[in-house]
């Protein structure tokens, strides 16, 4: 079993050098993932879902972006990176993003687009991390149902040997 060390990082820009350095570290380590959420001012925080929320629609009023690099294979090749977007935007969010001028980049492959479980895509391993995080954060802003502060909070789960 691999344990994960949690580091939290607040940032503003999609090309934040510290975030990109953490992405490179997680990628080089071969284990771990990063979750990112927009920071919401206290007065705009959505109410907590009730006990029967699981029966209704999505409870992700504030979207969560997940980035997990593909594992390195023997011989140096890498499996695709997996990205996710939990949201409350309803069904077929990939189509909605496309219609709003934010289509999935070329080469990305959708593996799930579900209103409750979110959007999941495979990204070619050679795709630059700055391109990936830029698209993910722009998509998160499009589907966010509450006003944001313009800041982001990353939870970096780096694997420990």
How many whole angstroms separate alpha carbon 51 and alpha carbon 74? 46
Does residue 48 belong to any structural domain of this protein? no
Residue 39 CB neighbours (<10 A): 14
Domain that residue 15 falls in: 3-42+57-71+79-160
Does residue 155 belong to any structural domain of this protein? yes
Does residue 105 belong to any structural domain of this protein? yes
Does residue 49 belong to any structural domain of this protein? no
Tell me the pLDDT of the chain (161 aa) as tens digits: 455 678 999 999 889 999 999 999 999 888 899 999 999 987 766 566 555 444 455 456 789 999 999 987 787 788 999 999 998 877 889 999 999 999 999 999 999 998 888 999 999 999 999 999 999 999 999 999 899 999 999 999 987 55
How many whole angstroms separate alpha carbon 108 and alpha carbon 113? 13
Does residue 87 belong to any structural domain of this protein? yes
The answer to pTM > 0.75 is yes
């Amino acid at each position: 079993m691999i344990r994960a060390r949690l580091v939290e990082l607040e940032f503003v820009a999609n090309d934040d050098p510290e975030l990109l350095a953490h992405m490179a570290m997680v990628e080089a380590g071969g284990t771990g993932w990063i979750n990112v959420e927009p920071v919401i001012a206290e007065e705009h925080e959505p109410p907590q879902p009730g006990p029967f929320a699981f029966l209704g629609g999505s409870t992700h009023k504030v979207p969560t972006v997940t980035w997990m690099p593909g594992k390195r294979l023997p011989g140096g090749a890498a499996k695709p990176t997996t990205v996710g977007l939990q949201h409350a935007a309803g069904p077929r969010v990939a189509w909605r993003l496309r219609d709003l001028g934010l289509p999935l980049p070329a080469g990305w492959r959708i593996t799930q687009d579900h209103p409750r479980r979110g959007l999941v895509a495979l990204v070619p391993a050679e795709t630059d991390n700055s391109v990936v995080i830029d698209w993910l954060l722009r998509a998160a802003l499009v589907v966010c149902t509450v006003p944001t502060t313009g800041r982001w909070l990353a939870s970096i789960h780096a694997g420990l040997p």
